[in-house]
Amino acid sequence: MNGIDRSIAFARTRDGCRISHFAHHVVVDGTVADVCACTIDPQECDGGALAAWARWCDRVPIDRIPGLMAECGAVCEGQWSRTYTVVHLNGAILEIDGESFDYPLAAYELEWSLRPQGAAVVLGPSAVLALVDFAIDGVLASRWPPAGVLERLSIVDTPHSPYPPQHRANGAPRPVGTGNSGVIDDATFLLLQRSERWQRPLNALYNINRRNLSVSHSTVAEHPSVAVVIDALVAEGEPTIASSNWIGTWHLQSPDGRCWGRRPFAINLHVSELLEAADWAVSPPRAACICDPIEGEIFGLAPSLLVKALPSATTLDEVRS
């Protein structure tokens, strides 16, 4: 694989007022890596980030606004360059480059107790990505490839990403679990491009040899007309083969439109059992993000999955303040 000579700059806001900036020129040549000054001024991206945040601020319930993040940036490498905008809500990708995805467009909320009884349960792309990432890091890491539990899912490690700073045009997908296959610069690049990784010891990071996950399902069906869609899931502990605790957010999809769930919920589950209960994909793979307190923001592609029935050992309760 060729070396890397890339400039990355972006402006990011989480409250519509304060802006954080990132601007670095990353050079990797074989085993030698360097970070230089970037000629792109990230302040030129401030307006795009603020406008994107304001656009979604009016569509998101007030108690969810602290999880709203908007980023506008530019990536340049050789003759290739791209500007981009991405907005996510605790990991659920709301918009990329002005294209909105399947989320409510108004700040109306619904109580959990008022959801339609019998509504289907759908795992949204970011929830699926979080569960698969958790499974690879913990549940299945010692015996990859898996037998049975994820056999309907295709999971590959790819240089391509819906998030431009993590996208590599060169390179080919490879099966998960094959390491970095002798590619020296991939792991270095993933570390150098994100300043939050520089502040942690290498042994505190799970995925220095993994690029981006791309998940697909062997069976595709129509999205149910009435469904509780789990937007995002955040694990409350380390990957484990036992049951694990998660915090999730949700919205309702029905023939009358889409509506945000009022409060998050706490769910106790076995990751392998929940993924095994997901019999069909109800969307193509779409942009997804995991907000990991250690790894930072992990982007990838995953479909929405329809859960035929929650496993009997799964418990789900609304979180009340």
Instruction: Say if residues 234 and 90 touch (Cβ distance below 8 Å).
Output: yes
User: Can you tell me the mean pLDDT for 196-204?
Assistant: 53
112's tokens? 């959990």
Better pLDDT: 33 or 72:
72
Instruction: Say if residues 27 and 33 touch (Cβ distance below 8 Å).
Output: yes
Q: pLDDT class for 180, splitting at 50, 70, 90? A: very low
Q: pLDDT class for 317, splitting at 50, 70, 90? A: confident
Nearest-angstrom CA–CA distance, 56 and 238:
32
| pTM, two decimal places | 0.88
The model's pLDDT over 119-163, given as tens digits with 9 standing for 90+, comes to 999 999 999 999 998 888 765 555 555 555 567 788 888 888 899
* Nearest by Cα to 155 from 292, 275, 290, 314: 275
* Nearest by Cα to 83 from 169, 8, 161: 8
Residues in the chain: 321
Determine which of 78-92, 96-110, 290-304 has the lowest per-residue pLDDT on average. Answer: 290-304
Instruction: Say if residues 101 and 95 touch (Cβ distance below 8 Å).
Output: yes
The model's pLDDT over 90-127, given as tens digits with 9 standing for 90+, comes to 999 999 998 888 899 999 999 988 999 889 999 999 99
